[in-house]
Amino acid sequence: MKRFAFAALAALALPASAQDVAITNATVATGDGSEPLENATVVILDGRVVAAGSGVAVPAGVRSVDGSGKWVTPGLVATVTQLGLWDVGAVSESNDTRAGSSPFSAALDVAPIVNPNSQHILVHRAAGITRAATVTQPSGSIFGGQGSIIDLGADPNAVYRPRAFQVVTLGEQGGRIAGGSRAATHALLRNALREAGSYGDQARIPGLSSDGREISTGDDLPIDPRLAGEESDRAGDVLLTRFDAAALVPVVRGEQPLYVYVERASDIRSTLALTREFPRLDLVLVGASEGWLVASEIAAAGVPVIADGLDDLPQNFEELASTQSNVGRMVKAGVKVAINAAAMENPRNLNQYAGNLVALARVPGADGLSWGQAFAAISSIPAQISGLGGSAGVLSPGALGDVVLWDSDPLEVGAMPERVFIDGIEQPLENHQSRLRDRYRDLDESDLPKAYDW
């Protein structure tokens, strides 16, 4: 009996095989910004999308699923989340989202701590999210650490790309952490980038690129004795640990994107100005509630934005110009914008946020998005910002087989996924919430737990 149980557990631990499947007669949204196609077909072979559109023939021997009356889309991509990092927010032992007492900041790396069995991953997979960026939040320092791109598949290998980006917070939150003023935030950030630059030029310990490979940090260069003496003289002024400095080397070199949490228009301008001093920075703005005020400047800089989809009223002084038209106006100005969930623990609401922006386009004087633009903002565009290029968030030949079959228009409230494929593997959609729903939906008292039987 024990041997049987062990064998069963071992079988569950083995990764499932990709399935060849075609979904036919469905309304298909390819995720590239175009409008949905009626009576279309999507074909997945060997874990990849090979065709999507009208008039696509189903290859011989491939299992066919009738999608009549249903919608097929690429899996949703969530850009800044805490998926896999916590179970119960109020229980510190189960919450790894912040490290306020850590001696490290930029060096914090979520890759080793992502829990693929977290109920939050299961719940969001059932909501149609197939890939996400997850990261710890700035707390003891303005730097939050290095985030990873994960897939939400039911297997033990959740981390798809480790050390994919670094996060830093400016504005009000950054000012509080840095010493009480935005001035301290900018001094701390510039000092950190300069220290990382110097460390990268002279250090004997290699850094890591965004894909986890070791990168040269000048190991073959002799240390200038004059520089060594200078560093020795100012050793007490250095604020970064060697580990944190090494983690920022790829940022300074433009090999790892720097996600900057910033809201106020003036703070956005100051962030964009960083590239004059550090020209290789690969910036991504996160939040940008007043982005519409400086949309032309953001577009000219070619900096993408991850914006909250439902900001409509100011929550603090740095969001006084908040408007729900923020995303639409930035897109109209030519900014690449992905929609983020205002509450990071619930990115499963992304499709509802996108749907609201579609409705907003019909409000006189407001700026919303078309259906295709809105869906791209939760699929292909966040995939591009996350460094996944055209491999995720789209239904195009060669893309990852991340496909969702919905019971109705996914941007309508109440739409639910019926089947989810990640890398061509159909995923289980059961989770703790669905089990509770099934237990209590009929209010049959015989289903109550034993504790209620009195």
| CATH code of 67's domain | 2.30.40.10
Examine the domain organization and report whether 163 and 113 are in the same domain. Answer: yes
Domains held by the chain: number: 2
421 three-class SS? strand
Examine the domain organization and report whether 90 and 37 are in the same domain. Answer: no
Q: What is the pLDDT of residues 296-345, one digit of tens each?
A: 999 999 999 999 988 888 889 999 999 999 999 999 999 999 998 765 56
Please say whether the beta carbons of 82 and 135 come within 8 A.
Answer: yes
Examine the domain organization and report whether 171 and 306 are in the same domain. Answer: yes
410 three-class SS? coil
Q: What gap in Å lies between CA 387 and CA 40, rounded to an integer?
A: 29
Note the helical H segments in 112-241: 119-126, 171-178, 182-202, 225-233
Q: Which of 420, 337, 412, 395 minimizes the C-alpha distance to 56?
A: 395
Examine the domain organization and report whether 119 and 206 are in the same domain. Answer: yes
Please say whether the beta carbons of 158 and 187 come within 8 A.
Answer: no
Side chain identity, residue 61: G
Q: What is the pLDDT of residues 328-341, one digit of tens each?
A: 999 999 999 999 87
Model's pTM, two decimal places?
A: 0.88
Examine the domain organization and report whether 24 and 128 are in the same domain. Answer: no
Examine the domain organization and report whether 121 and 67 are in the same domain. Answer: no
Q: Is residue 72 within a helix (H) or strand (E), and if so which, with residue range?
A: strand 71-74
Please say whether the beta carbons of 239 and 193 come within 8 A.
Answer: no
Residue after which a domain boundary falls, among 337, 372, 391: 391
pLDDT values of the chain reduced to their tens digit, one per residue, 454 residues: 333 333 333 344 445 778 899 999 999 999 999 999 999 999 999 999 999 999 999 999 999 999 999 999 999 999 999 999 988 877 878 788 888 889 999 999 999 999 999 999 999 999 999 999 999 999 999 999 999 999 999 999 999 999 999 999 999 999 999 999 999 999 999 999 999 998 877 654 444 554 555 554 444 333 334 334 444 444 556 688 999 999 999 999 999 999 999 999 999 999 999 999 999 999 999 999 999 999 999 999 999 999 998 888 888 999 999 999 999 999 999 999 999 876 556 889 999 999 999 999 999 999 999 999 999 999 999 999 999 988 999 999 999 999 999 999 999 999 999 999 999 999 999 999 999 888 778 766 666 666 655 5
DSSP assignment, residue 14?
S
Q: What is the pLDDT of residues 255-276, one digit of tens each?
A: 999 999 999 999 999 999 999 9
54's CB contacts (< 8 A; 6+ apart) are 37, 38, 39, 40, 41
Compute CA distances 15 → 88, 155, 222, 388, 426, whole Å: 28, 6, 47, 22, 12
Residue after which a domain boundary falls, among 367, 391, 415: 391
CATH no. for residue 235?
Answer: 3.20.20.140
438 three-class SS? helix
Examine the domain organization and report whether 354 and 405 are in the same domain. Answer: no
- Give the model's pLDDT for residue 338: 97
Query: With helix as H, strand as E and coil as C, how does 340-375 read?
Result: ECCCCCCHHHHHHHHHHHHHHCCCCCCCCCCHHHHH
Q: What gap in Å lies between CA 79 and CA 338, rounded to an integer?
A: 8
Examine the domain organization and report whether 162 and 117 are in the same domain. Answer: yes
Examine the domain organization and report whether 86 and 222 are in the same domain. Answer: yes
How far does CA 225 lie from the centroid of its chain?
44
Examine the domain organization and report whether 60 and 84 are in the same domain. Answer: no
Residue after which a domain boundary falls, among 352, 370, 391: 391
Examine the domain organization and report whether 286 and 299 are in the same domain. Answer: yes
Residue numbers of the domain that contains 247: 76-391
Examine the domain organization and report whether 356 and 447 are in the same domain. Answer: no
